[in-house]
Structure 1
């Protein structure tokens, strides 16, 4: 039976793919990003996750939609003359843990009627919310937590990415009433070994089992 964990972010480009790679590698899980936009720029996150996680190729599931334009899913799909269907985003049935990465943030449109969070609500799996520690993150994080709670989506906890800002991290966890799972620091150089070491140092893998 699939044991899914959804990795989403408070914004785009904040490090959720790097976190998802670290988590999937630590769990020995499968990884799935159902919608990939922007392959004309860098090829996609599946390839990056494989390089950073060390997972075997057969543990990285193919996307349901793989779109060229680096834009919101609804717009990237429209540019290719298609419409993303929520029915096509049905969760796969795999054995063992599955780390699922959303496209962008929670309120990103999948099509003109559906948001990314609607897909999460249909899966009913716990969510890890990835948030940066920089200025502005309290507002974005608390709004994201409120949106998840409003749809009764379980929140496993919040994972921070960036430099340590203790008061900000504490404020989000306490006011959002969520567990702070840990913080992934800036990693230079970023490779499989350094990412695995940082994850093991700053997170407890048992929190995700």
Structure 2
């Protein structure tokens, strides 16, 4: 970045996005979101297919600064891309949007995408969607919907998904999350799943106790 007050060009900022220093990458994304929203958003999404993990991770973080403007483009990309890296990046980008705009309600279309995400055959997509639902579960907006989606996934045949969903619920200080985990514990004979439910319940109890 030069020392004067002129705003760098879009191309210069995208060059900064390729820089190995995450601070320089983040600064570039912030300036892009403040000055070049319409032009920069599709270009950042294109970088989700980039072969270099540093670049696509920087793009995912960058999308986080665009708030609700990123919702529909991310949903479209997730639904249409044939690039697996780009698919994996979509739920992670929602996590970044959420970090930067925690009070912004997620629309139903995003919730539907996240629900599809936890049924994806790619476990990286699943983990990103679960992480995002776990965050939404802690907010006042869409909290119940997020908990319901997580609770529904506890009846999956996929044990790894049950484990991850129960861990996400364990971080949500809400009686609905507790109900879902108790139901998982009571309705399963599989010792591994029972153990997962017990450890998640214990974590949630600690969380609830620390709130009082």
TM-score normalised by structure 2 residue count:
0.33
> Which has the higher Rg, Structure 1 or Structure 2?
2
The structure with more helix, counted as a fraction of residues: 2
Q: TM-score, normalised by structure 1?
A: 0.34
Q: Which has the higher strand share?
A: 1
